[in-house]
Amino acid sequence: MEKSFAQPIINVVEYFGKLVEMLGKTIYYIARLAIDWRLTFFQMSSMGINSIPIVFLVVCFTGMIMSLQITEQASRFGTTQYVGGAIAYVMVRELAPVLTAVAMAGRVGSSIASELASMKVSEQIDALRALATNPTQYLVVPRMLALIIMIPAIAVMAGLAGIFSAFFVANTVFGVAWPVFMNYVPRLLDPGDVTAALIKSVVFAIAIALIGCVEGMHAEGGAQGVGRATTNSVVISIVSIFGLNYALSMILFK
Amino acid sequence: MKSIETKGLIVSYKKKIVLNGIDLVVNEGEIVSLMGGSGCGKSTLLRTVMGLIPASGGEVYIEERRTDNLSEAKMNETRKIMGMVFQEGALFDSMTVRENVAFALRRHTKMKEKEIREAVRERLEAVGLSGVEEKMPSELSGGMRRRVGIARALALSPKILFYDEPTAGLDPMLTATVVELILKMRERYGTTSVVVTHDIAAAERMSDRVAMIHEGRLILEGTFSDLRSSAHLHIRSFLNSMKTP
């Protein structure tokens, strides 16, 4: 009875230990500049650039929906001059980094987990070690660096796209002009908000890469194990993103 | 010189003892077959010597230098003189055959690309697979994948090679090809080989000695004559089940 009660706690502690161990090894290799830049650029392209369309879709539609709801109410009270500032404020500080990370967790986190899990169950990771190659250096470092570089960059671009999409709806549906829309943006947003958004994006990138790699490289049990690793990677990444976002918002904005 | 030595090697996995005090010596240039029933620990022994699985107790020596207590970085240096052929090949499925075989050459040597291409061509020719360099592993048959795995393991001309069931599932002609290859490696390069196999005929053709494992313990280490004349119940039962003449 006691063992079954403690087991979930033990599992969480063990899992956290695996994350910390992998993060430590990755930082070690990055600090020593033991980086395969060819692989890193490849990952930046396949994980980063190829994710731009889906991230833009998610953020732009969110911006448009926000604009639809907020501008409608603002129009009733004659306060449309605040719409742009309000949307930009929420978009930059919260929505762009979080939605970018969630979309990337779904697309890229699952891809990392499934690829590495397939390699694990088919002994390719053992083959790497047998060929005197450290799997963390070869597989994890390029993926983590690629996401650390690309997710903040995509979040910034997506945030801008989200703001423009919001303006598009405010203008076409409610007739809000560009100077009116942008009126309060400089008053509500400051450079610190952009820095905070970039910090959040980097933290989310590390979480997505780490969770995907840990799930993949510890997969067991053939095809079922690969499926489990992929699902776990997405679920744990998304929960982590929201939890980390709350903690980071408290630290960065309070 | 002793190429490989284990002293009282113990390996446990999920609280179950898989290897229980293995003392094994493989001399330089020898070919030793590891035999035993499924799940007796043969592949585990190979992987532990290679450092892919940590030992729970005992010692492992490669070329008379202790390796079971090495860090992963130092063990990687030792692995450069070893090669392993996995049962299903374990080819990197995102790479072509050429990239698979060239992998260790690109990472661990300063060879020029032209030299690497030539080395890859030679290794593939040695395993009877010329002309498949641009194919992906998914386009190859099981036997071809196995042979590409052998070519990849040979890339750095290792002194010690481990084969995990190299002839499993192969037809008699391909089995003979793999056996000849293992013998050629010893003849040409003096390679020490440890071969996990259930194929007694192939083992007898290529091996100098045989080691039999049963329930994690070494129950025989000697020649095939020793094996065939052994009165050990498990060995008799193993030989009878193989239905060899």
CB contacts, 8 Å: B103 with chain A? 131, 133
pLDDT at B244 over 60: no
Least confident stretch, A104-118, B101-115, B167-181: B167-181
Global ipTM: 0.92
Closest CA to B144 of B189, B89, B211, B105: B89
Q: What are φ and ψ of residue B54, in 5° steps?
A: -75, 145
At CA A133, angle to CA B67 and CA B183, rounded to 5?
70
**At B3, is the pLDDT very low, low, confident or very high (cuts 50, 70, 90)?**
very high
On the question of pLDDT at A1 being above 70, the answer is: no
Please state the rounded mean pLDDT for residues B127-139: 93
Residues paired with B12 in a beta bridge: B17
- Single-letter residue type at A173: V
A-chain residues near B52 (CB < 8 A)? 126, 129-130
pLDDT band at B228 (very low <50, low <70, confident <90, very high): confident
Q: What percent of chain A has pLDDT over 70?
A: 99
Q: pLDDT, tens digit, for every residue of A156-191?
A: 999 999 999 999 999 999 999 999 999 999 999 989
Who wins on pLDDT, B82 or B236?
B82
Does residue B76 carry a pLDDT above 70?
Answer: yes
Across all residues in chain B, what is the average pLDDT?
91
Do A131 and B88 lie within an 8 Å CB cutoff? no
Chain B closest CA to A254's CA: distance in Å? 44
Is 70 exceeded by the pLDDT of residue B243?
A: no
pLDDT of residue A26: 97
Strand B217-222 and strand B209-214: the pairing is antiparallel
CA separation for the pair A162, A89 (Å, rounded): 12
Question: Which two structure tokens, joined as six digits, stand for A227?
Answer: 């499926």
Reading the block at residue B40, the tokens are: 């007796």
For residue A43, give both structure tokens: 């990952």
Distance between first and last Cα of chain B? 35
Quick one: average pLDDT of A221-239? 96
Q: How many C-beta neighbours within 10 Å does residue B21 have? A: 15
Which residues contact residue B21 at a Cβ distance below 8 angstroms, ignoring those fewer than 6 apart? B8, B9, B10, B58, B217
- Over chain A, what is the mean pLDDT? 95
Cβ B93–A123 below 8 Å, yes or no? no
Question: Among B206, B212, B174, B175, which Cα is nearest to B192's?
Answer: B206
B245: tokens are: 């003449």
What pLDDT score was predicted for residue A2?
Answer: 53
Query: Residue A129: which of B52, B83, B103 has the nearest Cβ?
Result: B52
Q: CA neighbours within 13 Å on the CB side: how many for A162?
A: 33
Predicted confidence (pLDDT) at residue A238 exceeds the cutoff of 90: yes
Q: Is B51 on the interface with A (CB under 8 A)?
A: yes
